[in-house]
Structure 1
């Protein structure tokens, strides 16, 4: 079950008022979200170190949080910054990385997801996500696998909800094209609706977040 946003806000306020255990409880509620987020994207770095960096930056930003988005949106916005900075450090010495046009595969060269599924179609779907632009990857990942609402996606990208829906639809079309190219002759049975169901089914694989051996 996803954390209650009202409880998140209460814990954050208590933390901001000096209640350190409230901060620990809040971060524990979102630890798995951050763990899976980084595991899929930058397995080259210890996940715990990246999560710790998110927590440090959140502490630094507590006084700037105005409650205009959910706490987990706030956390993921910080995580996105850590992720993109880490990718640049690992793979782009010149610091250039455009999440709107470049995929995780394009920047890292990894051909397979760091999360493994037993079903071949599910695995190919996970792998295909690494071939779409990073920004689209994030939207689909958060929407399908972590239960982010359209409102939260809109908050994260600072766009209207209608625009968020259009971007998710576009991301799903991009993913379908990449997925079908990996499927080859088996691609005929996959429609947009089938992809939607496939993304829903693969959620448990992602949340379990098992790394490859």
Structure 2
């Protein structure tokens, strides 16, 4: 007796099939949600490793899955489920880095103030506040891709390779975006922009 093999579905068929699973998951079908997660998990774990390293990756992937479960009813299915899940993982990772950086900055600022006897020159403080405000205004006017690449580099401390992985583009594109962003900020901020690294 000859054994028949199932034909490989076309991309359109696979997409339609996924939409049906997504619709079931949005309607509260836990089995459908788990099916989607099983399909996407290898890519999710690989992506989490590229972001956070092998030790942190499983926890990052798990947190992304939990957040996806809580918000699946709001997923409209315009993107692939896997892409949506990877964006969630990316946001979790960026939020964790921002929180950690904020804690370190607060701790460092507190230590500096204690050593300085909490003395702050009002004129210096005003100038610093003006610089920060001007910088934030100019950053907000950058094209979205340039702004994201610049902040990932100068605020999050990512390498060009890491930024390329996060943004899903070639390293050369990352370098170009950062270059144009810094050039624009340097031109707009003049003397305040030091060595092209004014995003602190």
TM value normalised by structure 2: 0.50
Structure with more helix by fraction: 2
TM value normalised by structure 1: 0.47
Larger of the two Rg values belongs to structure: 2
